[in-house]
Amino acid sequence: MHDDLAPPSPSRRALLEGGLRLGLGLCAWACGGCGGPTGKDSAPVGASGVDSAAGGGDGGATDGCAEAPDALDASWVAVPLAANPGLAEVGGGVALDLSGRRLVVAQPSAGCFVAVDRACTHQGCDVAFREGRFLCPCHGAAFDLDGAVLSGPTPVPLASYPAALRGEVVWVKTG
């Protein structure tokens, strides 16, 4: 009866579009535009002896290319490629215990690195990096490069950690 006195309400479409604009703006603000694939201090992967023809995939939500900060504090742990030849191969990954965390660190694409908790969030089996994703051998859970669930019996993602190449060392932020 008093509808003509009520303020006009925005349509659902207008609300969604407004939210999308806000989300994109926050992303650009938070990640500086999600820039290039390699850190400015990173050596080209070909120059480091990594075989870029070894395979690998990029089927996850990100390409795993993070840039290490200029100042690495004690929360970053060094993982030398020379001591971890499985990590030096594109598409390779290694199980590592760093700062008390059980991790898998992987190179999904040339010069790009990711790290996730190794214990599957279903029943704790060790996941491994295979064909561009983290796979659990026990009941088939699959996780993307960020640890998000792709499929499987668990809805819980793997915790992920920043990882970046600098020279011949992969740095993983464990804290």
Q: Are 41 and 68 in contact (CB under 8 A)?
A: yes
> By three-state DSSP, how is residue 13 classified?
helix
Q: Are 150 and 135 in contact (CB under 8 A)?
A: no
> Which one among 50, 66, 114, 141 touches ligand FES, defined by CB under 6 A?
141
Residue 30 C-alpha from the chain's centroid: 16
Q: Rule CB under 6 A: is residue 169 a binding residue for ligand FES?
A: no
Q: Which is nearer to ligand FES, 89 or 117 (CB)?
A: 117
> Which one among 86, 153, 162, 167 touches ligand FES, defined by CB under 6 A?
153
> Which one among 50, 65, 87, 136 touches ligand FES, defined by CB under 6 A?
136
> Which one among 24, 139, 156, 159 touches ligand FES, defined by CB under 6 A?
139
The count of other CB atoms within 10 Å of the CB of residue 40 is 9
Q: Rule CB under 6 A: is residue 150 a binding residue for ligand FES?
A: no
| Phi, psi (rounded to 5 degrees) for 47 | -75, -20
H-run or E-run covering 133: strand 133-135
Report the distance separating Cα 107 and Cα 163, nearest Å: 10
> Of 95-134, which residues contact ligand FES (CB under 6 A)?
120, 122-125
Which range of residues in 36-44, 82-90, 137-145, 161-169 is near ligand FES by CB under 6 A? 137-145
**# chain residues binding ligand FES, by CB under 6 A:** 12
Q: Which is nearer to ligand FES, 45 or 103 (CB)?
A: 103
Report the distance separating Cα 37 and Cα 115, nearest Å: 16
Q: Which residues bind to ligand FES, rule: CB under 6 A?
A: 120, 122-125, 136, 138-141, 152-153
